[in-house]
Structure 1
């Protein structure tokens, strides 16, 4: 299992392209400031829970952690994460290319994160 950290829509697309043919799990979070902390409080609470479950990922899969931008960038309805990937809330964890996803407070429940990581 590989962990890839990216920032912005273009970097996300490149990371997906580089990992074609693998199971991709994507975690979208508000971008972090110079202090290393996201502007999104739910993201701050969810990230350690999501990362604690990474050992449950299927063999050979890829986990992409993507920062979606500053609060004003994220709130822009023309944001490509919203228009192209149909992500409406951060944090969002998805099995890329499938309808399976968890959003916001669902990510505070380790058992739901495990289910997303382990069920086909």
Structure 2
């Protein structure tokens, strides 16, 4: 069964990945903009893509860990300095929403996540990652 784990910020993400470093089933990282008290992200692209992304996770993953990563508020995300560690390796996230396979090269970003066919193909290709 796929497990969804929310994390907020870079350090929480690092801690979560350390806990699961020996996991053999896929680990997906889903990056999105912080949500307000009503559950709506400041990022319009994230809002538009969220339902399709979550549906794809439920439909195409069986035994995976999905780390749902809150990258912070708009100002924190737009910060291009070294303070925004999500933009640097090993994550190298340049746009949100983004979904990537941890320890893999595969990723979908931005409007790619609006295409159900791409989501299906992404999960078919990443279902059995190499360890």
TM-score normalised by length of structure 1: 0.92
After TM superposition, the structure 1 stretch with the greater mean CA deviation from structure 2, 19-28 or 43-52, is: 19-28
Question: Gaps spanning 5+ residues in structure 1: where?
Answer: none
Distance 1:112 1:82 in 2: 23
Distance 1:40 1:10 in 2: 22
Q: CA deviation at 1:60?
A: 2.5
Distance 1:115 1:10 in 2: 31
Distance 2:102 2:117 in 1: 19
| Cα pair 1:9 1:81 within 8 Å, conserved | yes
Query: Bigger radius of gyration, 1 or 2?
Result: 2
| Root-mean-square deviation (Å) | 1.2
Q: Describe how 1:4-23 pairs up with structure 2 within 5 A.
A: 4-20=5-21, 21=23, 22-23=25-26
Q: How many residues get paired?
A: 119
Q: Describe how 1:27-66 pairs up with structure 2 within 5 A.
A: 27-54=30-57, 55-57=59-61, 59-66=62-69
Distance 1:40 1:63 in 2: 20
Residue 96 of structure 1: aligned partner: 102
Distance 1:105 1:97 in 2: 23
Distance 1:60 1:16 in 2: 16
Q: CA deviation at 1:70?
A: 0.3
Please list every run of at least 4 consecutive aligned residues from structure 1 whose deviation after the TM superposition is greater than 3 angstroms: none
Establish whether residue 83 from structure 1 lines up as the match of residue 84 from structure 2: no
Q: CA deviation at 1:14?
A: 1.5
The 3-state SS of whatever aligns with 1:46 is helix
Question: Gaps spanning 5+ residues in structure 2: where?
Answer: 127-131
Q: CA deviation at 1:6?
A: 1.1
Residue 4 of structure 2: aligned partner: 3
Q: CA deviation at 1:69?
A: 0.5
